[in-house]
Amino acid sequence: MNPPQKNPKAVARQAQIDESAAGQRLDNYLLGALKGVPRSHIYRLIRSGQVRVNSGRVNPKHRLKAGDRVRVPPVAIRPPAPAAPTGGSLDWLAQRIVFEDQRLLVLDKPAGLAVHGGTGVTLGCIEALRALRPELKELELVHRLDRATSGCLLVAKRRSALRTLHGLLREGEVDKRYLTLVRGRWREPVAEITAPLKTKRGAGESRVRVARGGKAARSSFRLLETIGPTASLLEVSIATGRTHQIRVHAAHLGHPVAGDERYGDPEFNDAMRRLGLRRMFLHSRSVAFVWPESGEEFSIDVPLPQELEDVLTTVRGRAPTDRAPRP
């Protein structure tokens, strides 16, 4: 996609933050205010000083308050060459909406689909949902999943719901659980890892590693099943949402995720490919939280995709299986 350009005939505008946008991060606010501008360009606008809050420079993670004045620079968007799909071409996406109410919808994201457009990605989940449901003017991602990860993806339908859910995520009040198949025989019933993570951004990809001075990250791994000496099926809950967190923590513990081309074991991946694995074995299984205003409990569970169930069946058929007792 061509980069956004300054429009010489346009002028910067001053946006007044109201209660519906209060508490939102500046970068996320601008993604909504400047529809179609890639996140990388949003960061450049902020860091170059073209975006100001109350006439001062701030960082992209600055949280806005009601009454703040945000300088929004003029940016002309060049639309991508392919038109966004509409109508019947998005029927498959409608069928993957597994929950919807007035505040929230939950998408069973397929593996291989990015959550949002960007470099090399014309259309992601959020752009496709906006094309499918143009009447919903405030659709925003609540969180993200790696492109290769399937499962529960929360999308807010209202700014107020987005603000509430972001607050719950910051406070660690959202229970997110994943299923993953990893290399080798997992020895402990439960293992918690708090190794800090540091991201290095290169040309076209980000690579994350465990490093002193990195961002705090906490993952809890629970053994569900060992399948001979070859592999182990785990449930993972995360208290933080760092980039590639589960994949890097698992590899750091010596049990890389099956099918992970970036942090995994090539020999293990080749063996799993011969058993039918055509993607990374990582699935967002469930999300649960309590709406703070009403005390209403919310939970959603998305079953493992059939292609991953088939792989498990094949792997189990090749080796003795020990299933951990259910809690």
**Any idea which residues carry the catalytic annotation?**
146
- CA-to-CA separations, 80 to 1, 43, 83, 138, in angstroms, rounded: 5, 20, 7, 22
**Helix/strand/coil (H/E/C) assignment for every residue in the chain:** CCCCECCCCCCCEEEECCCCCCCCEHHHHHHHHCCCCCHHHHHHHHHCCCCEECCECCCCCCECCCCCEEEECCCECCCCCCCCCCHHHHHHHHCCEEEECCCEEEEEECCCCCCCCECCECCCHHHHHHHHCCCCCCCEECCCCCCCCEEEEEEECCHHHHHHHHHHHHCCCCEEEEEEEEECCCCCCEEEECCCEEEEECCCCEEEEECCCCECCCEEEEEEEEECCCEEEEEEEECCCCCCHHHHHHHHCCCCECCCCCCCCHHHHHHHHHCCCCCCCEEEEEEEEECCCCCCEEEEECCCCHHHHHHHHHHHHHCCEEECCCC
Are 169 and 143 in contact by the 8 Å Cβ rule? The answer is yes
State the Cα–Cα distance between residues 146 and 283, nearest whole angstrom.
10
- Asked whether the beta carbons of 213 and 198 are under 8 A apart, the reply is yes
- How far CA 327 is from CA of 151, 189, 285, in Å, comes to 23, 11, 17
